[in-house]
A and B are shown apart, each in its own frame.
Chain A
Amino acid sequence: MTEKLLDVENLTMKFGGLVAIDNLSFSAAKDQITSIIGPNGAGKTTVFNCLTGFYKATAGSMFLNKENERLNLKRFSDFKVAQKAGVARTFQNIRLFPQMSVLENLMVAQHNKLMDASGFTILGLFNAPSFVNKEKEAVEISKYWLDIIGLTHRADDDAGDLPYGDQRKLEIVRAMCINPHLLCLDEPAAGLNAKESAELNKLLLFIKKEKKTGILLIEHDMSVVMEISDHVVVLNYGKKIFQGSAKETKNSPAVIEAYLGTEE
């Protein structure tokens, strides 16, 4: 068993009387891909929103284990989860900065470290060498990721002009540019064709292997889930109904029932 990266314990999220997540516990390991699957409305995206600070969980705790500290994500509000804890995410409907160039999108993701280097903008105004170097470094990092997804030649085009599949990949590497410990992907394969989703698998496996970043994946596309996940958590009506390896999941009667219903 590899090291645990994320521990979600008894997470509960209520909207008024509606219980979206009910006492959910699961964990994700450091260099593994953990998939969260479940029928529509099962509460998958709500789990993400709690993890990344967009919602304040009603009860329970979420711990992120870094090298030598254990952070309770519940204590960070929205942008601080990304800034302080290093949890990055993508969105179900792509959220790029469409009128900014591809490179700029990646530069915004490195905002915090550049902002520090620019000395509250004052050093930056006068082109201080420390800032110029840091900026060059950031461009190199962006270029590294663009090379990986093969978009270097379009670096100066508007992100909104890219084809859909490339936008998906760009959003993922943009999230990687904040150098996260945990990457949460909300349906990255939605709307991709077979070739694009194969490329996506490759990219995710690369991130897992080379960057040692834990990946949490919400996905409906079972070909993606089965091929790359190391661990699967199945939700239904906000409750965990199953967890195990991809193979076990496929054969689990509880999962089949949740997706297809029971025979009368």
Chain B
Amino acid sequence: MRKNFLYLSIKDSLFTGLIALALFGPIVGLRTVAKNEVLVVSPKWFIVLVIVIVCALGRFLTNLYIYNRDQKFGIQSTIGKSITNFLDTKGTQIALSAIIFSVIFPFLPFTDRYLMDIAIMMLTYIMLGWGLNIVIGLAGLLDLGYVAFYAVGAYSYALFAIHFGWSFWICLPIAGIFAAMFGVLLGFPVLRLRGDYLAIVTLAFGEMIRILLLNWYQLTKGPDGLTGIPRPSFFGLPFKSFPDEGEQTFHTFFGLEYSPMQRIIFLYYLILVLALITNLFTIKIRRLPIGRAWEALREDEIACKSLGVNPRNTKLTAFAIGAMFGGFAGSFFATRQAFISPESFTFIESAIIVAIVVLGGMGSQTGVVLATVFLIGLIEVFRDFESYRMIAFGGAMVLIMIFRPRGILATRKPTITLQKKEATK
């Protein structure tokens, strides 16, 4: 038995080496260099050999120590179980401490401009993840074009703020409503679609919005983007280093030294509040009839119909509410950047948000946070390695899928319980 296993492992790792050779041979081994204005192939077989040996050896070792038949299940499920147990028992404490940490974060000694920027970016993704979680996690509608609503929110905020000079707090709900309208617009034609077909149409929708923004030059300035988007003010007090004559600014009003960090900190709290509102809203709406209908629709649409649940309205509200939060996040993005162009709303953004929701565990609010910190944090850590960032991103996804195939947090808590019964238990 043991011998047979060893034999199989060797065979398997040789095969891995062969695949590595086929892949890396042409990619790494055959390099073209320009010599006297002629392209010449200069083979690098040594590096290929090293890569192949590393792959084969690595496979052999993982076969021996990780995929060993007797232990295979052990390693994966113990890690998974301990994570789930930990989060199950300490869930509320973790959430509370995470919120406290994020509230005091700007005033911690090691916090600098760079960390604040990353934190703001993470919170934006968390908010987008929570918004998309309504569509994917609860209603089970795989939406690959979520970034479209983010874009609609950003552009409608920017256009209203630039042309009408309305303040952030007026433009924010307008941007949300616009995004929700686009959500319904997308929702109508895809009512009958499910699964892969729905994914393709939503993907196309995302691209359509981007291309529209790129080409409707009169309104969106196309690829030049919109500049001079007004910065948010602290309830009417702008963040400015040199106030105009007689103008009250944030630092003069509070009698502080001017510092550019003040605005960053304000933006940080702004997105923190927006994200927490998204979270509270989702937690609450899950327990309402509409939230339960979303989940029921994800489970079985035909059964829903037989119970008199209107699938059209239910799906459209999911699209609209998910899109609305995307729109809120979009207007925050616009006001933070003060410049937006269609380049910020490419498919890769949608893909990252979907990855956050799926890897976090569909429908899990805490999972979204964990996945965001993990994925976006990893991308940031690898910032210096530029082109290897996406490899790290992919690697992280593969790792999560190996150890937690249904997402980091895959457990679902019922939205309503018979408490009396549990008390007597």
Contact = CB atoms under 8 A, between A and B. Distances in A.
Q: Do A and B come from one complex?
A: yes
B290 A115 contact: yes
A155 interface: yes
Interface string A49-65: 00011100000000000
Contacts of B306: 52, 79, 82, 88-91, 95, 175
A107 B296 CA distance: 10
Most buried by A among B303, B307, B311, B317: B307
A81 to B, nearest CB: 8
B255 interface: no
Given A79-B310, A88-B307, A139 B290 contact: no
A152 B414 contact: no
Given A79-B308, A178-B308, A111 B414 contact: no
A118 B308 contact: no
Contacts of A104: 292, 295-296, 414-416
Contacts of B284: 125
Contact of B288 (A78, A84, A118, A139): A118
A101 B293 CA distance: 13
Given A79-B308, A108-B292, A103 B285 contact: no
B117 interface: no
A8 B292 CA distance: 35
A89 B284 CA distance: 31
Main SS at interface, chain A: helix
Contact of B300 (A95, A109, A125): A95
B343 interface: no
A112 interface: yes
Interface string B32-61: 000000000000000000000000000000
Is the interface on chain A under 10, 10 to 19, 20 to 34, or 35 or more residues?
Answer: 35 or more
A89 B306 CA distance: 6
A100 B293 CA distance: 11
A98 B293 CA distance: 14
Interface string A65-81: 00000000000001111
A83 interface: yes
Main SS at interface, chain B: helix
Nearest to B293: A111
Contact of B414 (A54, A101, A115): A101
Contact of B418 (A88, A121, A155, A178): A155
A82 B306 CA distance: 6
Contacts of A242: none
A118 B289 contact: yes
Given A82-B307, A91-B306, A156 B293 contact: no
B421 interface: yes
Interface in A108-167: 108-109, 111-112, 114-115, 118, 121, 124-125, 135, 139, 143, 152-153, 155-156
B422 interface: yes
A79 B304 contact: yes
Most buried by B among A54, A97, A107, A114: A97
Given A99-B412, A155-B421, A121 B292 contact: no
Interface string B300-326: 101111111111000001000000000
Nearest to B295: A100
A174 interface: yes
Contacts of B292: 100, 104, 107-108, 111
Nearest to A86: B308
A189 interface: no
Contacts of A13: none
A125 B422 CA distance: 26
Most buried by A among B281, B290, B412: B290
Given A101-B414, A115-B293, 20 more contacts: A54-B302, A78-B305, A79-B308, A80-B308, A82-B305, A82-B307, A95-B300, A99-B412, A101-B416, A101-B417, A103-B416, A103-B418, A104-B295, A104-B414, A108-B292, A111-B308, A115-B290, A118-B288, A118-B289, A155-B421
11 contacts: A54-B305, A82-B306, A82-B308, A95-B300, A99-B295, A103-B418, A104-B415, A111-B289, A118-B288, A124-B290, A153-B421
Interface of B: 281, 284-285, 288-290, 292-293, 295-296, 299-300, 302-311, 317, 412, 414-418, 421-422
Interface of A: 52-54, 78-84, 88-91, 95-101, 103-104, 107-109, 111-112, 114-115, 118, 121, 124-125, 135, 139, 143, 152-153, 155-156, 174-175, 178
